[in-house]
Amino acid sequence: MNLLTEHKLVLASASPRRKELFSKLGVPFEVVTSDVEETAVQAESMEGYVRDVALLKARAVAKKEKGKTIIGADTIVVFKGELLHKPKNEEQAFSHLTKLSDGYHQVMTAVAIIQPNGQEETFVQETKVYFKKLSQALMEAYIETGDPFDKAGGYGIQTDGALLVDRIEGDYNNVVGLPISTLFEKLIALNIIKI
Ligand SMILES: Cc1cn([C@H]2C[C@H](O)[C@@H](COP(=O)(O)OP(=O)(O)OP(=O)(O)O)O2)c(=O)[nH]c1=O
């Protein structure tokens, strides 16, 4: 789309998937990343955790990019109250997929918007993802593609991980890493972009 903005927009994310989704708005933006220690965040709930990490990413970039509007995001996969981080090795990827097999889990993405005056807005969106029953051979073949390792929960719904998913309840793009439709609504409501 070709939307309008007077703001200098900065996407605080190294994720090419988020960049692609954000570009659907059709407004100019730049990508600026920062190093934040996500695992250092302590929160009382999963929702609080993912919100705090998104804020941390956005605040780290806001410090360097004055006068601009910053958008940060974070995605987590929660299975029965347990956070499944990006797998560090094949064993962990296998363990994640074994848990996710034949059941459902929550994918939560938090988005943080920081305006030049320091005003902060956040929202958390949830999608329920149901996995098929995965055979050992399928899990091994999937891990061999290398796909799980840069992704929360150890799979990508937009890549070969699509073959593992039975169905979802909620927004697809939220699983990929950016609920662009809700973000669009928030940016309109905040007068950051106009149709
Ligand atoms: C479940 C799932 C996750 N993911 C991705 C989305 C996120 O990019 C990633 C979760 O890690 P994040 O820490 O949210 O993001 P990131 O490290 O890729 O980028 P940055 O911190 O710079 O913003 O997992 C998918 O791409 N597909 C999926 O189906």
Distances (CA, A) of 119 to 7, 28, 104, 114, 122: 14, 21, 36, 6, 10
Q: What is the pLDDT of residue 36?
A: 85
Question: What is the domain count for the chain?
Answer: 1
Q: What is the pLDDT of residue 40?
A: 78
Would residue 74 show up in a list of annotated catalytic residues for this protein? Answer: yes
Q: What is the pLDDT of residue 41?
A: 86
Q: pTM value?
A: 0.96
What are 172's two structure tokens?
A: 């697809």
Query: Does ligand 1 come within 6 angstroms of the Cβ of 107?
Result: yes
Catalytic residue among 35, 52, 74, 102: 74
* Range(s) of the domain holding residue 141: 4-194
Q: What is the CATH number of the domain that holds 113?
A: 3.90.950.10
Distances (CA, A) of 131 to 20, 87, 156: 25, 18, 12
Q: What is the pLDDT of residue 159?
A: 96
Query: Does ligand 1 come within 6 angstroms of the Cβ of 127?
Result: no
Q: 């943080």: which residue's tokens?
A: 112
Tens-of-pLDDT digits for all 195 residues of the chain? 889 999 999 999 999 999 999 999 999 999 999 888 777 788 899 999 999 999 999 999 999 999 999 999 999 999 999 999 999 999 999 999 999 999 999 999 999 999 999 999 999 999 999 999 999 999 999 999 999 999 999 999 999 999 999 999 999 999 999 999 999 999 999 999 999
Q: What is the pLDDT of residue 37?
A: 78
Q: What is the pLDDT of residue 34?
A: 87
